[in-house]
């Protein structure tokens, strides 16, 4: 059994962690939620905590670190504090799941991964967006073999709105971008070469809010684009192979849904109208058009993987090599923006 303690109680915890963990009570027990005293004293927060029965809310980090039953600490604090909390948890003999990015740069990320490895503990980022329904659909389309040899993949995550980050100096690459980079790395591995077009459309500070990044593999290229100035609806993924093409528009995402706390989610499959479309030439030379059934978005798969790694010594779902590749690309892209 994983006995988990959370550091932080923001949107990420209540929307992307607890609802999926609560579906896995045979594998994961949530014992603590750590919050700063000043956050707990805000108007309405004590009443909000009362909605979450069975959890121990505390402002003493020692309650978590000194509890021998806790074997997993999940860090959902601001990015700049990830390393501090992760080291404290590792020093206390706890495995760690941390919201991306693990650290603020490549070298610090590498050092922290090595620190965990030396202690014989698991440290992994929460790259849950590998399990978005659209990303899963692309993987299913490619693995079907009907596209033939893949020559190009295009990934878009676009908006038409003013910047939404609370920390504009950070930009979007360390927030949204690292997720979409990781999706590509999870499909194709480490690229042979990269090309970066990274800009600042809104920020005088030069923080990135637009990027067009090319990943080059032997005979294949992946393109990742994000902009805050795309008004028209655009496919989330486009894939071309030597036998056909696949297009997937983004379906409903749970960040777009208004919930009341404590949030409960159902693993619902998208409506068929939102399924991705595969058009290809079959072995008889006939053109076929079919839809790839969507799988539900289930962010709890991360916890399934952690359970297997921590309890049964299975390989991590997100390898250290993938984490470092993600971070190296983010760092190079941010440098390109300068």
SS3 content of the chain, % helix, strand, coil (to 5): 35, 25, 40
pTM assigned to the model: 0.93
* Predicted local distance difference test score (pLDDT) of residue 258: 66
Task: Look at strands 95-98 and 72-75 and give their pairing.
Answer: parallel
How confident is the model over 221-275, as pLDDT tens digits?
999 999 888 899 889 999 999 999 999 998 666 665 667 899 988 898 899 999 9
Alpha carbon distance 22, 198 (integer Å): 39
Question: Which residues in the chain are classed under CATH 3.40.50.720?
Answer: 2-126
List the end-to-end C-alpha distance of the chain, in Å, as a whole number. 46
Which contacts qualify for 268-272: CB closer than 8 Å, 24 or more apart? Answer: 268/296, 269/293, 269/294, 269/295, 269/296, 270/133, 270/294, 270/296
Alpha carbon distance 14, 223 (integer Å): 32
Would you list the DSSP string of 143-186? Answer: HTSTT-SEEEEEEE---BSS---S-TTT-SIIIIIHHHHHHHHH
**CATH number among 1.10.1660.10, 3.40.50.10480, 3.40.50.1000, 3.30.360.10, domain 129-299+329-337:** 3.30.360.10
Alpha carbon distance 123, 41 (integer Å): 31
Give the residue from 237, 19, 29 showing the smallest Cα distance to 128.
19
Alpha carbon distance 297, 154 (integer Å): 20
* Predicted local distance difference test score (pLDDT) of residue 337: 77
Task: Look at strands 244-248 and 210-217 and give their pairing.
Answer: unpaired
Is the torsion defined by CA of 244, 217, 154, 273 positive or negative? positive
Give the residue from 253, 256, 176 showing the smallest Cα distance to 209.
176
Rg (CA), the chain: 21
How confident is the model over 66-92, as pLDDT tens digits?
999 999 999 999 999 999 999 999 999
- What's the token pair of residue 77? 């604090």
Q: Which helix (H) or strand (E) holds 332?
A: helix 320-337
Question: Which residues in the chain are classed under CATH 3.30.360.10?
Answer: 129-299+329-337
Superfamily of domain 2-126: NAD(P)-binding Rossmann-like Domain (3.40.50.720)
* Helix (DSSP H) and strand (DSSP E) numbers for the chain: 11, 14
For the chain, list residues with pLDDT below 70: 162-170, 203-206, 251-258
Q: Which helix (H) or strand (E) holds 194?
A: strand 193-199
How confident is the model over 213-236, as pLDDT tens digits?
999 999 999 999 998 888 998 899
């Amino acid at each position: 059994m994983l006995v988990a303690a959370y550091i932080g109680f923001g949107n990420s915890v209540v929307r992307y962690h607890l609802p999926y963990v609560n579906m896995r009570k045979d594998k994961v027990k949530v014992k603590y939620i750590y919050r700063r005293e000043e956050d707990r004293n805000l108007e309405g927060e004590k009443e909000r905590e009362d909605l979450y029965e069975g959890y121990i809310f505390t402002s003493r980090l020692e309650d978590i670190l000194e509890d021998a039953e806790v074997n997993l600490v999940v860090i959902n604090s601001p990015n700049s504090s990830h390393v501090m909390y992760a080291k404290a948890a590792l020093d206390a003999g706890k495995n760690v799941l941390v919201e991306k990015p693990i650290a603020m740069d490549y070298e610090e990320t590498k050092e922290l991964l090595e620190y965990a490895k030396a202690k014989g503990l698991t440290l992994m980022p929460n790259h849950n967006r590998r399990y978005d329904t659209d990303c899963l659909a692309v993987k299913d389309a490619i693995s079907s073999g009907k596209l033939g040899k893949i020559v190009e993949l295009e990934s878009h995550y676009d908006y038409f709105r003013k910047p939404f980050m609370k920390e504009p100096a950070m930009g979007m690459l360390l927030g949204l971008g690292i997720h979409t980079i990781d999706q590509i790395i999870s499909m194709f591995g480490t690229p042979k070469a990269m090309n970066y077009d990274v800009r600042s459309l809104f920020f005088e500070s030069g923080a990135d809010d637009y990027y067009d990044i090319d990943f080059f593999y032997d005979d294949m290229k992946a393109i990742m684009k994000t902009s805050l100035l795309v008004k028209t609806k655009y496919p989330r993924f486009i894939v071309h192979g030597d036998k056909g093409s696949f297009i997937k528009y983004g379906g409903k995402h749970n960040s777009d849904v208004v919930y009341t706390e404590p949030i409960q989610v159902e693993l619902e499959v998208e409506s068929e109208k939102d399924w991705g479309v595969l058009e290809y030439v079959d072995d008889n030379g006939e053109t076929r058009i079919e839809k790839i059934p969507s799988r539900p978005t289930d962010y709890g798969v991360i916890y399934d993987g952690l359970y297997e790694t921590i309890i049964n010594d299975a390989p991590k779902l997100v390898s250290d090599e993938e984490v470092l590749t993600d971070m190296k690309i983010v760092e190079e892209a941010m440098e390109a923006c300068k």
